[in-house]
Structure 1
Amino acid sequence: MDRETRLRRLAFRAWHRGTREADYMIGGFFDRYGKTWSDEELDWFETLIEEQDVDIMAWAIGKQPVPEQFEGPQMQAFQKLDFINIPR
């Protein structure tokens, strides 16, 4: 699949998680960084979003230890939570 199709597919999956909180956290992270990611970084994100939302959110806010496969610069950026924009 070409890059643009992959990005659109990942954006949809990132923003359609099932809860508003997960949508803002995971979708906001993808919107902020996704277009600049390498194929390897997109692979990381694609694997991440296969996990349960409660786990992903717990890793982001430090309530659970991050599994080794997700540790690194992308998770560190995710844990900053500075990309969340909640409309009022």
Structure 2
Amino acid sequence: MTETRDTKIKRLRMRSMRRGIKEMDLILSAYADAHLAGFSDDALVLYDRLLSENDHDLYAWVGGQCAVPGDYLDLVTHIASTAEGVVKP
């Protein structure tokens, strides 16, 4: 059975707010609420893949402590630009 676009967005929003660490809950749930509806289908697939990554890695990427893998660079840069104050003092 193929997942509809609306169902996929709802699933991704839920996965964005049910993370392993609270900081990523806050960052990704706010990001998902603000941006997922405007994503292309390909961007939704990439975001879905990103959510499979380890939360500590994601937090380090968003916070600029570690290099971001090339596939995710633009997406993580966009997420980081919306997370000011959450990942940095």
TM over 0.5: yes
What is the root-mean-square deviation in Å for CA atoms of aligned residues?
Answer: 1.8
Q: Which aligned segments of 4 or more residues in structure 1 are displaced greater than 6 angstroms?
A: none
CA distance in 2, matches of 1:51, 1:77: 17
State whether structure 2 residue 31 is matched by structure 1 residue 29: yes
**1:50 aligned residue (46, 49, 52):** 52
Q: How does 1:51-66 map to 2 (within 5 A)?
A: 51-66=53-68
Give a deviation string over 1:8-58, Cα, whole Å, max 9, x none: 111111110032211001111111111100001101100000000010111
The residue type equivalent to 1:76 in the other structure is T
Kept after mapping to 1: 8 A contact 2:27/2:83: no
Taking structure 2 as the reference length, the TM-score comes to 0.84
Q: Which runs of 5+ in 1 are unaligned?
A: none
Taking structure 1 as the reference length, the TM-score comes to 0.85
More off after superposition, 59-68 vs 15-24: 15-24
CA distance in 1, matches of 2:50, 2:67: 14
The residue type equivalent to 1:33 in the other structure is H
Kept after mapping to 2: 8 A contact 1:15/1:24: yes
Aligned length: 84
Q: Which runs of 5+ in 2 are unaligned?
A: none
Give a deviation string over 1:67-86, Cα, whole Å, max 9, x none: 111122x222112134788x
Which residue does the alignment assign to 2:19? 17
Which residue does the alignment assign to 2:79? 78
